[in-house]
Structure 1
Amino acid sequence: MSEISNQHTSNDNMQSSWFASWFDTSYYHILYKDRNYREAQIFMDNLTHYLNLPEEAKVLDLACGKGRHSIYLNQLGFNVLGVDLSENSIEIASKNANDKLHFKVHDMREPLEEKFDAIFNLFTSFGYFDHDEDNLKTLLAIKESLSEYGFAVIDFMNVPFVLDNLVAEETKTVEAIDFHLKRYVKDGFIIKEIDFEDNGKKFHYEEKVRALTLEDFTKMMDEAGIYLLDIFGDYKLKKYYKKTSERLIMIFK
């Protein structure tokens, strides 16, 4: 599921930054260490081929995490900027920077000053916010940051498929840590609770992503003045089917 989570705290003021805390921990990277990098590369190959991006196109990787997509896009010959709210992730990603690959801390709700030929928001890195207007602000920021002929891509989970296949509880053991995972739907969000113990200390985090459907995105895009060009259902860019596709990949400009 998503990249972002929070740690429970008695201080309500901390809730304003819930989407930063889990992502900035080493445990986040441990839990998700087995992600399929080859699959991600195939997706980037298919996507850049489909978009027919010009050589040395300027690409923005929005919510880039540690930069795995940014690094590969740069290897394909593109000028890439990776941005993320997590200072820890950007610090790690920046170790791979070069004259055509840069990283910086940035809030996706704010447009960037420069314009891009392509903006990629990948691996369900959308819908973190408590308020729907922040999701709309993100779309408007993407629109503002695109060049006149630029394309944007949002790669989101396919919510109907996820809900039909939701595993309520499971335990994953990674690097001798037992991560106890609990998943459920509440107030329009898909929530994953993560409990584990390390060095005699107990931890509790939560991932929380708005259960946005294609209809929800279409409505927001209409409001933002964005034109939805194409929809795909997996990383091989096969047709989207509401009930059976694992992903909801939207191309717009």
Structure 2
Amino acid sequence: MHSIRAGYINELMLMLYRKKTAMFFIFSAILPILMAFALNSLQPVLGLVAVSRSFPHQMLDIYTAVWIPLFILFNIGDLFPNEIASRTLKLALLRPNTRFQVYLAKVAALATGIAALLVMLGIVTLICNLFAGSPLGLTETFGIVKAYFAALVAMLALAALFIFVAQFFKTANAFMVFSIVLYAAAKLAPFFSSSIAAFSPASYTNWHMLWLSSTVSAGRLLTGSLFLVSSCILFFSLGYYIFDRKEV
């Protein structure tokens, strides 16, 4: 347990020290504020609604569709293919750590980064609501918390999928190009075949919206939850299976 915790802290510190990670967090905090100012300034000109009570989940829609998936891909590229190319992964495996401990530490660090992004987005958007004069009530805040937690589960399933994909690449650039194309194709595929959406974690990036609706049945929410949790377990296991057998 001590080795896993030490490895996790080490991976988390490495991720935080990367300039790309810092830029992601800075931009993630600034964008909602800029959007709030833009909406307020355009309201008298175009008659648009200013920052409304739906602002937190409107921003969540944008982040889960584009921004957080990019954060996931960049960090997976650094955690796996880039470390193979730079041979730093071999150094990690020379320590008294098993491959599973190294793999688990990397996945846990990435999951923490995703959760931190969502928590920061939620806090910033709620503050924007407060200063814009449209604070949320207790019931609405609880609904937003549910939506953000649902988004976390969906993003973890997406991360598990691309961690599995990353095991087939030895350079971060090749992984990034392939993964962006794969993600774009997965997002477009449901327009051509609706059956694909039911079996693709990429189709669940806006899954949190279902948790905000009072008309969605509990059975549908349970089915979606089980699929995402199963995807996490499946792709985590497949990724480790390949990671455990690859030469570094």
Scaled by the length of structure 1, what TM-score is found?
0.25
Structure with more of its chain in helix, by fraction: 2
More strand by share: 1
Greater relative CO, 1 or 2 (CA 8 Å, sep 6+): 2
TM-score using structure 2 length: 0.26
